[in-house]
Amino acid sequence: MNSKNIDLNMGFVITDDKFNILYSNNFFKTNICKNNEDILNKKLTVFFQDINVDSDDDLYSVKYRDNSVYYVVHNRLKLQGKDFYVFFFYDFTLGNELEKQIIRLSSQQYLYNEMLNKLKDGIYITDEEGTTTYVNDAFLNLSGLTRDQIIGKTVYDLRRFNILPNSCCAKVIETMAPVSTINNYYKGQRCLVSGSPIFDEKGNLAKTIAVIRDVSELDVLMKNITKEKNQFIKNSEIKNISNKEPFVVINNEKMKNIYTKAKKIANVESTVLILGETGVGKDFIATYIHGISNRSSGKFVKINCSAVPEHLLESEFFGYEEGAFTGAQKGGKKGLFEEANGGVLYLDEIGDMPYTLQVKLLSALNDRMFYRIGGTASVEFNARIIAATNVDLKHLVEEKKFRADLYYRLNVVNFVIPPLRHRKEDIIPLAHQFIEYYNNKYGKNCYFTTNCLEHFLVYDWPGNIRELKNMIERLVLMTDDAFIDTNLFTENLMFNEGVESLSGNNHFMQEAKSLKERIDDYEKEIIETTLASSKNMKEAALRLGIDLSTLVRKKQKYDLTK
């Protein structure tokens, strides 16, 4: 008989009627006899003296010669007229060990349970299919639910029945990645829920675990800190305005050059003309120049030439004397030119200034003096002029809508601010600055998913930095979760007011161009985007799968600055 055929977790022996061993299985040889001694044809009673085939007990204990105890059952068989015995030997010490292990495990589980119940944070665990397997006491306190309502139920059912409408574990299973959400619980607590998948050694999802932290108190604290901080900034800005540089976010080389040039000309008296699309930061750079100049203790007076009715512009600019016209204020009124004396006069939308007023402005600039309406005494003019426009001023000059002499008088130092789509390196740093600002303002903890940031880089931003800033404020307010993803971004593009004819996705697309041009545009876009999100050229080349030298060549071809 082949011993390999009978592979049991117990000893198995066949003897003849004189207890001579005819067969024993491996378990008997290795676990019970524990040596290589040849036991065939030896008497079983030599090893177990207590063997008693006449015993009435089905199962009785016997001692091996080393005194270890086994339990034995036997059967008598008759084969071809001969008697045989079959013995089964059980080792119950194994069972005891198992029992001890079970006791140890359950006491460990009890301890873990106790420990998890002592935590202030809620814990929620599901299996790989989303069935709730564990929740601690803190979770029950936060949610107001009972274990009966949730254990054994799937997070999908709980979500469907609005018991856990914003289930983080459901999102973890759907994305197979860590997810954070901000959930409001029944007493109005705001909780930061951080969910994570747990994978087994083969990489399959085994469980999900979510930690739920009540951040209501933190929120209040953050709001107070932000309030105090803003108060501090406000006060210190007023006091230190002359020696504190405003915080500027710039990464793009052209922009860096613009700000370097702004520093250089901050303290000279020449007029400045700032050109650029709407929302690129023309006001921002004008206030920057004022803030770092030696005129910073004087006022920064801004006037939007297109917003003031034409018949009021002259009096707004130059002021008037008492009785200059019907309805004139008693004692007369200072104009903005006087208000800005010693500081900066910022003329926004200069392209919209009426032609007649352009003459007066030019003479005030040339003569460094002007007259109030109805006045005879000249007023000294000592403001620095910074003008800005988003229209093509040169074109207006050609069309005779803007005086050439004024244009050249204003255009002593000029800045042309590139649109955001041509300085993609600035998009992500600006987005981070704005989200931090709005997180503080609204007491939130939102962040962008990587994919969302990638879409920021591909989008054209026709409304430039202003559009980016407004968009981020809206996203922070709209999101139910801690993260802001691409879907929310593209949904919100539809509601983008203030940007002409913006039908969302159009700005992700190309105009009608030849195939070669479109491929080039696409290549440029990809390289620009990758450069913007890479630490250096080497990393960008690696991510693009091209040689460093090819990347350098393409960068030159597309005139990319970063």
Q: Which residue is nearest to ligand ATP (CB)?
A: 281
CA 354, CA 466: separation in Å to the nearest integer? 27
Among residues 465, 471, 493, 551, the one that binds ligand ATP under rule CB under 6 A: 465
| Chain Cα centroid distance, residue 455 | 13
Q: Which helix (H) or strand (E) holds 12?
A: strand 11-16
Residues from 229 through 248 that contact ligand ATP (CB under 6 A): 248
Residues from 413 through 432 that contact ligand ATP (CB under 6 A): 430
Task: Tell whether residue 280 is a contact of ligand ATP (CB under 6 A).
Answer: yes
The distance of closest approach from Cβ of residue 188 to ligand ATP in the complex, given in angstroms and rounded to an integer, is: 33
Q: Which amino acid is at 400?
A: K
Looking at the Cβ atoms of 282 and 360, the one nearer to ligand ATP is: 282
The distance of closest approach from Cβ of residue 162 to ligand ATP in the complex, given in angstroms and rounded to an integer, is: 40
Task: Tell whether residue 281 is a contact of ligand ATP (CB under 6 A).
Answer: yes
Looking at the Cβ atoms of 197 and 281, the one nearer to ligand ATP is: 281
DSSP string, 152-202: T-BHHHHHHTTSSTT-HHHHHHHHTS-EEEEEE-TTS-EEEEEEEEEE-TT
With CB under 6 A, what is the number of residues at the site for ligand ATP? 17
Question: What single-letter DSSP state applies at residue 274?
Answer: E
> 337-356 mask for ligand ATP (x: CB under 6 A)?
-----------x--------
244 within 8 A of 553, measured Cβ to Cβ:
no
Task: Tell whether residue 276 is a contact of ligand ATP (CB under 6 A).
Answer: yes
Task: Tell whether residue 308 is a contact of ligand ATP (CB under 6 A).
Answer: no
Among residues 122, 197, 279, 335, the one that binds ligand ATP under rule CB under 6 A: 279
C-alpha triplet 152, 156, 162: angle, nearest 5°: 100
Task: Tell whether residue 437 is a contact of ligand ATP (CB under 6 A).
Answer: no
Task: Tell whether residue 284 is a contact of ligand ATP (CB under 6 A).
Answer: yes
Between the alpha carbon of residue 152 and those of residues 133, 136, 158, 355, 544, the distances in Å are: 6, 14, 11, 78, 47
Radius of gyration of the chain (CA): 42
209 within 8 A of 123, measured Cβ to Cβ:
yes
CA 232, CA 50: separation in Å to the nearest integer? 93
Token pair in block for residue 470: 């407004």
Task: Tell whether residue 467 is a contact of ligand ATP (CB under 6 A).
Answer: no
The distance of closest approach from Cβ of residue 320 to ligand ATP in the complex, given in angstroms and rounded to an integer, is: 28
Task: Tell whether residue 391 is a contact of ligand ATP (CB under 6 A).
Answer: no
Among residues 171, 190, 282, 424, the one that binds ligand ATP under rule CB under 6 A: 282
Q: Which residue ranges make up the site for ligand ATP (CB under 6 A)?
A: 248-250, 276, 278-284, 348, 390, 430, 465-466, 469
